[in-house]
Amino acid sequence: MSDHETTPNAPEQPHAPLDPMAAPPPLPEQQQGVHEHLGPEMDPAAAARLRWLMSATLLFGAGILLGLWLAPDTPQSARGQLEALQAALAQKESRIGELEQLSRPADAIQSQGRLSAKDRARHNREGRAYVAALKRTGAQGAAHLVEWFIGRWNALLDSPQPDDRTGRRAATLALLVGGMAANLNPGDYVPWQAEFLSNPWLGELQTDIDGDGLPGPRSAPNSHDGFANVSVCHVAMALNQAMTDGQILMMPEMRCDRAESRMSVFLQGETFDDALTEFVRAVREQGFLVVERQEKGNRLVLVGNKPTPKTDDDF
């Protein structure tokens, strides 16, 4: 065979068909290193592209969050904010109203109460004259006590509550009567009560100014009042506000603030005269000293302390 002759090439063997389930052929060694160590083996241009892509992604996410924050609220959220603003506004308006009320003159505030300006003026005028008369006699403590009472009585009549006759007003009268025992001579104490409780100028003692029909005659229908663990003076003052022709007065030695002066009673009967009879029976039953008499159509009841039992030291 000559030098120019060539050996015929062997016929090419046909490629075996690819098995889709077969494992992928191994990568060259250099490419394996790049695949396993992407960061360190990545060329600078590819790394720069990757950093740019990551930065753009972060900026895009931040933009979405900012847009959501600046976007208009949903109707439900806006409605909640509106309700909160309305509540805050109502609170501010209420506070402004309170401040305006406090800044108004006292006469303007009092004129909105239940006590009429005419009755208030009469109470204040007659009360000042009464206080001045007590001061002229040297009864300074009694004068201050009556002055306090007039102001308190006006306030109660101006802002009434249910059962004031048997509650707050009775307690206020009991405080006045009890306090006067320490500020008047014993001989003046009973006459003072009879005179003061008969004053026609003081509303709800002899004159009905709140329209409940009391005080009235003893023959008026009984309101069936009940009392639990209150002073005898308290019950007496509740009845004194109900009757124009009956009075319960305390003797000088009677002390309304003592524990032994307390009682519980239900004033039964058809009329207030019956209620007064029940009161007399109850206080006598509990050992209090009671003196009763009729005078010019008026029924008068005097109540004193329970008699002190005598001991061997008294003999």
Tens digit of pLDDT for each residue in 163-182?
999 999 999 999 999 999 99
* Mean of per-residue pLDDT scores for the chain: 80
More confident residue, 15 or 237: 237
Averaged pLDDT for residues 130-145: 96
Averaged pLDDT for residues 143-148: 97
Instruction: State the pairing for strand pair 289-295/226-231.
Output: unpaired
Contact 292, 246 (CB under 8 A): no
In the chain, what is the greatest distance between 2 CA atoms, to the nearest angstrom?
A: 176
Contact 276, 246 (CB under 8 A): yes
Cα dihedral value 191, 181, 293, 268, nearest 10: 130
> Residues 232-279: pLDDT tens digits?
999 999 999 999 999 999 999 998 889 999 999 999 999 999 999 999
What's residue 55's pLDDT?
Answer: 61
What's residue 31's pLDDT?
Answer: 40
Count of other CB atoms within 10 angstroms of residue 101: 11
Give the pLDDT band of residue 106 (cuts 50, 70, 90): very low
| pLDDT > 90: percent of the chain | 59
Contact 298, 247 (CB under 8 A): yes
Listed residue (165, 134, 166, 167) closest to 148, CA to CA? 134
What's residue 141's pLDDT?
Answer: 96
What's residue 308's pLDDT?
Answer: 74
Q: For the stretch 294-314, what's the b/e string if a residue is b when 16 or more beta carbons lie within 10 angstroms of its beta carbon?
A: eeeeebbbbbbbeeeeeeeee
Q: Specify the residue for token string 């008699």.
A: 307
Give the pLDDT band of residue 63 (cuts 50, 70, 90): low
What's residue 249's pLDDT?
Answer: 98
Is the pLDDT assigned to residue 283 strictly greater than 70? Answer: yes
DSSP label of 219: T
Contact 261, 253 (CB under 8 A): no
Q: For the stretch 149-164, what's the b/e string if a residue is b when 16 or more beta carbons lie within 10 angstroms of its beta carbon?
A: bbebbbebbbebeeeb
Is the pLDDT assigned to residue 116 strictly greater than 50? Answer: yes
Give the pLDDT band of residue 113 (cuts 50, 70, 90): confident
- Model confidence, pTM: 0.64
What's residue 105's pLDDT?
Answer: 52
